[in-house]
Amino acid sequence: MEETERIRICVVYALPDEQALVELEVPVGTSVAEAIELSGLRRRYPQIPTTPPCAIYGRSVQPVHAVREGDRIEILRPLLIDPKESRRRAASRTSGR
């Protein structure tokens, strides 16, 4: 039986009050979606959708993207407020001083 080459990656999911980080060794060619399933984070956090938006080191990737050695897959949560709106609100609070 032939040994499949394996690579080390990690999958992270952050909430406001906790962060989960799972380090994995996966076969070369593993997709982002497969890595998320292998991490077990969807079982631990049922609020993670089946195909959540993801990034690798802050750059958005598709679920079919093949991971590479050392990748850090970030499971993204939906934004609660548009960043532009947040800046507008902050600017209006400081300009009223």
Q: Is the pLDDT of residue 93 over 70?
A: yes
Q: What is the DSSP letter of 4?
A: P
User: What digits encode the pLDDT tens for the residues 51-69?
Assistant: 999 999 999 999 999 999 9
Residue 26: strand pairing partners: 7
User: What residue ranges do the domains of the chain occupy?
Assistant: 6-95
Residue 84, CA distances (Å) to 17, 87, 91 in order: 24, 5, 11
Q: Is the pLDDT of residue 71 over 60?
A: yes
**CATH fold for domain 6-95:** Ubiquitin-like (UB roll) (3.10.20)
